[in-house]
Amino acid sequence: MIFQPKNRDELKEAVDLWCNDEEKAFTKYRNISKWDTSKVTDMSHMFSNSQFNGDISKWNTSNVTDMSYMFYWSKFNGDISKWNTFNVINMSHMFSYSQFNGNISKWDTCLVTDMRSMFSDSKFNGDISNWDTSSVTDMSDMFFSSEFNGNISYWDFSNLSHDINDIGIKIVKNGL
């Protein structure tokens, strides 16, 4: 039987058990890579402050709206390149202080409004040049003290509620 949590609390309880006692979690919930997360809308803080680095590449994230602090201060660096992020609105602090440096170039970010401190103090330096940032209102400290040095000169900053210089890196607009 495949574990299918009904909400964030059920998933968080299972994840916490997995991070603390993988053998016990496997007995109770089976393999984390096969969990059906399709009913979960909030994955905030899911792996915060954890050593977790397992396979969650096939998790169904199509209904998730909140991924804030999901990998905050974590060791996670697995493959989440194919996650469906179409409905996500909040990605604030998602990878802050994390080891993550995977490929998330194809993520759909068209509905995200909050990317505040998303990669601050992180190892991330991947290609996110094609992200749709037209809905984002807060990118403050998005890259503060991070290793990121990618090209985001073609991003849409028109809806930011703060100065573009507050995102934590110098931007050369449209390659000029």
- Tens of pLDDT, residue by residue over 2-58, are 999 999 999 999 999 999 999 999 999 999 999 999 999 999 999 999 999 999 999
pTM > 0.85: yes
Q: Residues of the chain with pLDDT > 70: what percent?
A: 96
3-state secondary structure of 45: coil
Tens of pLDDT, residue by residue over 77-128, are 999 999 999 999 999 999 999 999 999 999 999 999 999 999 999 999 999 9
Whether 108 maps to a domain, the answer reads yes
Whether 56 maps to a domain, the answer reads yes
What H or E segment, with its residue span, contains residue 17? helix 8-20
Whether 28 maps to a domain, the answer reads no
Q: Which residues contact 12 (CB under 8 A, 6 or more apart)?
A: 45, 46
Tens of pLDDT, residue by residue over 154-164, are 999 999 999 98
- Residues 68, 42: contact at Cβ < 8 Å? no
Whether 152 maps to a domain, the answer reads yes
Indicate the number of domains in the chain. Answer: 1
Whether 6 maps to a domain, the answer reads no
Domain enclosing residue 63, as ranges: 38-170
Whether 9 maps to a domain, the answer reads no
Q: Which residues contact 164 (CB under 8 A, 6 or more apart)?
A: 157, 171
Whether 3 maps to a domain, the answer reads no
Whether 62 maps to a domain, the answer reads yes
